[in-house]
A and B are shown apart, each in its own frame.
Chain A
């Protein structure tokens, strides 16, 4: 319509740095009035060259720690997928007890990540009371993780061929206490998110992704499940202790009876998954077998074996945001990895963004975009920044610091006058 009147479409760049986006990414929205007609997603603003480091600098064990730092929120998902890939490549089988501990920690991460997302979603629609409520509730799982692993964020639990710390019988009551706390408040959370009129108004029929589009654009995790695609690595091709548990992918029709594929459905899926995670942890605590937690406790011996190993492997883990996959190739005599490919869930979920936003309104962009729970540092992880060949390149830290100091002096001089 606009074109027939001879009016050009406007393009609004949102980002890379924008109050509505938690992490850097640019969305170029072509708009016609208030309606979005086209979207271009531009990524690459937070490259750190992590895959390159794994292939050129670090050995296989050092890479666990760099995998942990791919993303602050998924600091279990990436090492989990990575060690599974290395174990497959080198033919190492972890002890059964370690498989259970891995799953317990991974599910704790899912609880904290989904609660974190629920808070952000509330914040995006301007409902900050709920944001504070959810983030206060989230502290309980952070405390539990600190109790079990010794740290709130980067937990360093994983080792090739097992885990680094045991979960002992004495720790069970404290773990159960936290799980009971979440069970006791679950209905309150459910009412807040699913019954509240404000949340319903802002999330129903917003950012719809149909099942067919989700399949075509390879959506994963809650984004796919909210569209009715029953895809969950823990269910489809279970690994570790998940293979012992009967896990069923969660879809929104379990609550509403229908699948719409909007933001509201994504809230339902994540809420129910918190409950599912509590149940998984309880089952694991009940079924955990006794035994060792490491296949090879001596690091020097392990490194030696990995250096001699030749092969390739794929590790797939259902991260809170969806399938996280690592591909590793080991070559005999090579200390670093020969190939390392990381794919975080947001990488493929971003492909669905244009479909979700098209036809919507500009004011719905923040919540619709946030509904895939995007994690940019996961997606962008593979590049070197060039500082020499071209003048218009990125400022180095020193240059930036210099500019900052100069500005400070200038301001101080003005103030003194």
Chain B
């Protein structure tokens, strides 16, 4: 497969997704003495075009590497970033590609991509239990890390009322005051 430059990749996303493409950020830095370029792309798409965007990444690279899904509680939305890398296997050729998608809290759903990338299962299970984002069509919806007796409807990574309640933490003796300061 022919390797595209970062700008060309952005153009290919724009033509594939049309109005569902929101924005792109290109981060570049020169490294150490030889000043070789380190490039990462952050592409923001609408949720309805998310699967299409992942399929498009598969057109750029036969087996794109999905490192992890990171999720942030942004108030009304949950922001998911799928951290992909493409063009690996050659010196200085790889590109990091963060695929960003916002999921509104009143409809916390995202389609699964395990049919495209089977290895995405663990991170989808983790996103589901930690952030409360329902992954539609996930082949194995069990919890990954949380114990079975962890209460339903509590999500450790959330910053709203569904986050872990105060009485779930055990504050060490002598640290009470410091803990209060941190909470305030």
A interface residues with partner B (beta carbon < 8 Å): 43-44, 47, 49, 51-52, 55-57, 88, 93, 96, 99-100, 215-220, 229-231, 233, 235-241, 243-244, 246-249, 287, 289, 312, 314, 316, 323, 325, 327, 329, 338-339, 341, 343, 347-348, 350-351, 380, 382-390, 392-394, 396
Contacts and interface: CB of A to CB of B under 8 A. Distances in A.
B64 to A, nearest CB: 9
Interface of B: 27, 29, 31-34, 36, 38, 40, 42, 62-63, 65-68, 70-72, 81, 83, 85, 87-96, 98, 117-123, 126, 130, 143-147, 149-151, 156-157, 164, 167-170, 182
Given A88-B27, A329-B72, A388-B168, A316 B67 contact: yes
B151 A389 contact: yes
B40 A314 contact: yes
B18 to A, nearest CB: 26
Contact of A385 (B83, B92, B147, B157): B147
Q: Which 8 A-B pairs have the closest CB atoms?
A: A218-B119, A236-B94, A243-B31, A215-B63, A341-B70, A237-B94, A343-B68, A44-B145
Given A312-B42, A323-B67, 10 more contacts: A44-B147, A52-B156, A216-B63, A217-B119, A219-B119, A236-B88, A244-B36, A248-B91, A327-B83, A385-B147
Contact of A325 (B63, B67, B94, B169): B67
Contact of A237 (B38, B81, B170): B38
A230 B118 CA distance: 20
B44 to A, nearest CB: 12
Contacts of B144: 43-44
Contacts of B123: 343, 347
B119 A99 contact: no
Given A44-B144, A57-B182, A382-B156, A314 B83 contact: yes
A239 B29 CA distance: 10
Nearest to B100: A312
A108 to B, nearest CB: 19
B33 A382 contact: no
Given A247-B91, A390-B149, A99 B170 contact: no
